[in-house]
Amino acid sequence: MSGDRLREWLDNPILVKHVRSRLRKQPLAVAIVVVLVFCLCIVWAGYQLQTFATGQAFGLLFALQTIILVVMGATQVGSAVGAARASGILDFHRVSPLTPNELTLGFFFGAPIREYVLFACTLPFSLLCLAFGTPTLHGFVQLMVLLIAAAWVFHGLALLNALLAKARANPRGVVGLVIFVVLFGGNLLFGLRRSAALVDMDLRLTFYGMSLPWLAVVLLHISAVLFFVFLAGRRKMGSERIHPLSKIQAIAAQATLAFLLVGTIWRRDEYAALEIVTLYLLVITAVLLILMVTPNRAEYDKGLWRARKGGKSHLGWWDDLSLNRVFLAIICVIVLATATLIWNGDMGQQASTIMPVPTGSLPLAIAAGVLVVAYFGLAHQYFALRFGARGKIYFGLFLFLAWIFPLLAGSILGMASGPLYAGRESEVIFSLSPIAGIGLTATTGDTASFSKGVQASAITPALLFTFVFNTLLVSARRMAQRAFLAAADSTKGQSKEQP
Amino acid sequence: MIKIRDLRVDYDNVCAVRDLSLEVEPGEVCGLIGPNGAGKTTTMRAMIGLIEPTYGEINVMGVDVRERPQDVCRVVGFMPDFPPVYEDLQVWEFLDLFAASYGIPRDRRPLEVGRHLEMVGLAEKRAAQVVELSRGMRQRLMLAKTLIPQPRALLLDEPASGVDPQGRIDLKNILRRLAEEGRTVVISSHILAEMNEFCTSVAIMEQGSLVVSGRIDDVNRRVMGDSLLSVEVLGEPALFLAVVRADPRAGPLERKNGAYEFRFRGDALAASDLLAALIHQDVRVASFVRRRDNLEDLFLKVGSRELA
């Protein structure tokens, strides 16, 4: 990057704004003193307890760095964007010549600027640990790269969440941070204390059969996530009333995930159960993408108005304001193809050595997963189209009854049946919910007497809901179109009456 | 010039603006008037590109808002009714942020910031924290922010709300000067009496539709059909009454505060003819005032007719 380009980039007004407001001398000095005291305590404890050589002192420092950069940084990004959005000042930026890219990058790098400075303050202490031999320089660099990449993902997710969530005047960033630290602080500390030992093992992962350093594979996944999160953030930064991803972008996101997942577990027979994890990942991603691209009733009507003005009966299938049916079909095909490819890729491999091979019916689990994606998308579109703003409530109720209630009922039945019978009827009822059903279908072996019941209760509701919501959506669409035509005719009549 | 054609904006199940067409000439100060929920703010937000219309064309200073949104913001300044600010910045830093956003070179920024702070009367507050400013001061700061990129068109949504009397006078003067410089201003406000003083044209909205628009005189003529004459005569009014009643352009007379008031269907020339006739008949005229209806009258008349 040339000097001029760098200067131009650093002159990003949003970045400069955060540098000014977040690096004021007094609050910055206080924060630095607190961090330095923490670091000195860790180093002193490491010296007293002689934990430098074992890497535990470094691990504690790494935990502190993670909290500063990942947790506090993400909180800052979320708060800054949320506050700018709630106050309405983000609208000013939207109508300034700043591009959505500049805006996104300005908030992304600017909001956590104090956290970057605090992180930099901890680095000399990490280097001190390095001098004692643990971790090695190679491991240290790997960990730092991973930490920064992970921080960026969390910052990106916080930014996107702030742009998608209901705008609040007072973002609850600090409350979120406290809850996070209370819930996960202990585990985080415990896990990160051993980080130094982990990186020095020089682990390698395969990607489509190629053996690569673990960090390369992880960075490949992180860059894909970061790219699509940035893309969504950039779109929302440009306009409040736009879907985070267009239908094409959402399909690209699902396809990229599929490509990466297939590559990562390609012929890894020692982790056969990863097939089920992959299936869940595909379904969860598809569900999230459906939520991002499905238009509500108002948007659909807007699309009809726009199409009518352009002399068409409806907009193209790829338009943001069009129904999600074609998109849904493609997403289902991607989930089906990816899961089938992974399943076929693993067929004939040796038995799992680390995680057990599923003994149930994986094809049936794949079918259930695809149908779940299909009916989720159809139901979401139906409720939005049929009930307008109230559709979200009804859709939530439907999901509760179809996804959560079977888990509750199964748990109650399991507890009531006692330990001897537990796991039979309850598993059949659990399977009614796709949250458990997909996994149980794939793992409940043929030897189990109730395996057919588990499989049937996983696939039947999925099949039924797909059929029912498809039919309902067709009628809801007709109804919406009739209502639109009536409104359009009355508007036409009104405008004719005007002198 | 601002040109809107067939603009429609829909929110969730609500049509906020319905097939609105409007033209505002350069150098005009157009008052966008209407009750709450009439669609004024939505129209302004669509004009700046903050809201994507359902359909319709908006062209501001030759720039199509939908096709070139990034160019529109270079020619239009928008000031919303409630001024959002970064409370953790100082006053000069806030303006500097927007000066930088609009591409004003780094070395020119301090000068521009100082000049605009001076213009809105906030020079003394240059180093103050924005959080310390009162509502009126924030409104002034927002005006400075809006003017800093030298926009050719200004969209001001309730700019005088919360501003003290001195601030209103300053605002009025600034707007007059901007109009003299040939900039197009669209301003929405509920304080119709004040708008009356600097608006040259008017657009009255009701339930998302444009009821009437045009230069104030034209609209007045179309809607009210006449002007109001207020004449004070000395001595016996019989002669005066006879002359006026004989003129077919004069409406029914009404006595108000010692003067006679009546509607008169005629322009300034016709009014001067009537005055000449009165003097010719030896009517002792103490005062002769021809008054156009103000925006408040106009709005009430149009609004009541529309609602009826």
What digits encode the pLDDT tens for the residues A285-325? 999 999 999 999 988 988 998 888 888 888 888 898 999 99
CB count within 10 Å of CB A132 equals 17
**Domain co-membership, B212 together with B229:** no
What is the three-class DSSP state of A211? strand
Q: How far apart are CA B224 and CA A26, in angstroms?
A: 64
User: Is A241 near chain B, with CB under 8 Å?
Assistant: yes
Which residues are paired to B287 by β-bridges?
Answer: B232
What digits encode the pLDDT tens for the residues A37-57? 999 999 999 888 887 878 888
**Domain co-membership, B247 together with B111:** no
Give the per-residue pLDDT at B189.
76
CATH of residue B139's domain is 3.40.50.300
Confidence band, pLDDT 50/70/90 cuts, at residue A477: very high
B182 half-sphere exposure, CB direction, 13 A CA radius: 1
Whether the pLDDT of residue A358 is over 60: the answer is: no
CA of B69 to nearest chain A CA: how many angstroms apart?
Answer: 8
What digits encode the pLDDT tens for the residues A164-193? 987 665 555 555 656 666 666 666 656 665
Lowest-confidence segment of A170-184, A354-368, B169-183 by average pLDDT: A170-184
Q: How far apart are CA B86 and CA B84, in angstroms?
A: 7
- Whether residue B98 lies inside any domain: the answer is yes
Note down the domain range covering B283.
Answer: 225-292
CA of B183 to nearest chain A CA: how many angstroms apart?
Answer: 19
Q: Going by DSSP bridges, is the β-strand pair B201-206/B29-33 parallel, antiparallel, or unpaired?
A: parallel
Question: Which chain A residues are closer than 8 Å to B48 by Cβ?
Answer: 95
CA of B107: how far to CAs of A9, B99, B113, in Å?
Answer: 17, 11, 11
CA nearest B157: which of B276, B301, B45?
B45
**Domain co-membership, B232 together with B201:** no
Total structural domains within chain B: 2
Confidence band, pLDDT 50/70/90 cuts, at residue A195: low
- Whether residue B299 lies inside any domain: the answer is no
- Are the C-beta atoms of A389 and B12 separated by less than 8 Å? yes
- Identity of the amino acid at A477: R
Q: Which residues contact A7 (CB under 8 A, 6 or more apart)?
A: none
CA of A92 to nearest chain B CA: how many angstroms apart?
Answer: 8
Give the per-residue pLDDT at A240.
86
Going by the DSSP 8-state scheme, the letter that residue A402 receives in this structure is I
Nearest residue of chain B to residue A83 (CA atoms): B86
Q: How far apart are CA A399 and CA A279, in angstroms?
A: 20
- Whether residue B304 lies inside any domain: the answer is no
Which residues are paired to B30 by β-bridges?
Answer: B186, B201
What digits encode the pLDDT tens for the residues B85-98? 999 999 999 999 99
**Domain co-membership, B37 together with B184:** yes
**Domain co-membership, B170 together with B278:** no
ipTM for the complex? 0.80
- Whether residue B184 lies inside any domain: the answer is yes
Give the per-residue pLDDT at A183.
61
Over range A69-91, report the average pLDDT: 93
Q: What is the pLDDT of chain B when averaged over all its residues?
A: 85
Question: Which chain B residues are closer than 8 Å to A91 by Cβ?
Answer: 50, 80, 84
**Domain co-membership, B207 together with B141:** yes
Q: How far apart are CA B80 and CA B133, in angstroms?
A: 17
Whether the pLDDT of residue B217 is over 90: the answer is: no
CB count within 10 Å of CB A319 equals 16
- Are the C-beta atoms of A295 and A326 separated by less than 8 Å? no
Backbone angles phi, psi at A205, to 5 degrees: -125, 160
Whether the pLDDT of residue B193 is over 80: the answer is: no
Nearest residue of chain B to residue A295 (CA atoms): B12
Lowest-confidence segment of A35-44, A274-283, A336-345, B298-307 by average pLDDT: B298-307
Most confident of the following: A8-12, A64-68, B46-50, B226-230:
A64-68
Question: Which chain B residues are closer than 8 Å to A94 by Cβ?
Answer: 49-50
- Are the C-beta atoms of A444 and A455 separated by less than 8 Å? yes
**Domain co-membership, B197 together with B55:** yes
What digits encode the pLDDT tens for the residues A103-153? 999 999 999 999 999 999 999 999 988 888 778 888 888 889 999 999 999
- Whether residue B302 lies inside any domain: the answer is no
Over range A70-80, report the average pLDDT: 94
DSSP one-letter string for B186-231: EEE-S-HHHHHHH-SEEEEEETTEEEEEEEHHHHHHHHT-SEEEEE
Whether the pLDDT of residue A496 is over 50: the answer is: no
Q: In terms of residues, how long is chain A?
A: 499
**Domain co-membership, B194 together with B212:** yes
Q: Name the more confident of A324 and B195.
A: A324
CB count within 10 Å of CB A131 equals 8
From the list A13, A84, A298, which residue is nearest B101 (CB)?
A: A13
- Whether residue B297 lies inside any domain: the answer is no
**Domain co-membership, B8 together with B133:** yes
**Domain co-membership, B233 together with B266:** yes
**Domain co-membership, B133 together with B242:** no
Q: How far apart are CA A336 and CA A328, in angstroms?
A: 12
Over range B43-48, report the average pLDDT: 91
Backbone angles phi, psi at A191, to 5 degrees: -70, -45
Confidence band, pLDDT 50/70/90 cuts, at residue A464: very high
CATH of residue B235's domain is 3.30.70.100
Q: Name the more confident of B68 and A170.
A: B68
- Whether residue B241 lies inside any domain: the answer is yes
Whether the pLDDT of residue A478 is over 50: the answer is: yes
**Domain co-membership, B149 together with B284:** no
Query: For chain B, how far is it from start to end, CA to CA, in angstroms?
Result: 33
Q: Which residues contact B57 (CB under 8 A, 6 or more apart)?
A: B3, B4, B5, B6, B7, B64, B66
Q: Name the more confident of A245 and A361.
A: A245
pTM reported for the whole predicted model:
0.83
